[in-house]
Structure 1
Amino acid sequence: MSGTPAEKSPLARLVLFMVCLSIAGSLVAGVHWFAIDLPAQQARALHPPGNGNTELFAACNICMQNCEFDSDRYGCEMTCKLLACGSPDP
């Protein structure tokens, strides 16, 4: 037998190529996250979310408290949920 190195099979070369491609993709994704996504997330963290409307919650709570003295309490609460609270199921 001669000492010539055996050539790798096409399947082994394909697997090696796919592993190298996945490593390169992970590196590109990490750089993208660090350079673009992380600063955008930090910029948004400085502002409160838009759904934190405390005036809406205060009006909803007042309306629901007033329903305690109404003769049709459940009808009153449904009206409050629809009009003051902003949804039928808060």
Structure 2
Amino acid sequence: MPDPKQPVPDRDRPMPSPTWKPEPIEEPKPDVLPDEVPVPNPDENNEPPLHTGTWHAGNGPRPTPPGPGPFPDPNPVPQPAPDPQPAPAPGPAPPRPTM
């Protein structure tokens, strides 16, 4: 059995130097990449939000928005019940098939 403290003669050869040089990596500009178009950030807008000053808790209940809304009306207007029998068609009835 070989002595573990002794180096293996075929294994510890020095690595040969490479015959080629790697190409340097050029970093893109940090501000804008070539395939991107700058898009304005709405968070960086200096204008106040559109809803500012229209309502706050001290004004009482929140105003009701126009339209039916996403939820059913809790107090709907009663509608007449639909007639379970449809009205007969005008004119004579078609003849019944005989077998």
Q: What TM bracket, shorter-length normalisation?
A: under 0.3
- Larger helix fraction of residues: 1
Structure-2-length-normalised TM-score:
0.24
Structure-1-length-normalised TM-score:
0.25
Question: Taking CA–CA contacts closer than 8 Å with sequence separation of 6 or more, which of the two structures ends up with the larger relative contact order?
Answer: 1
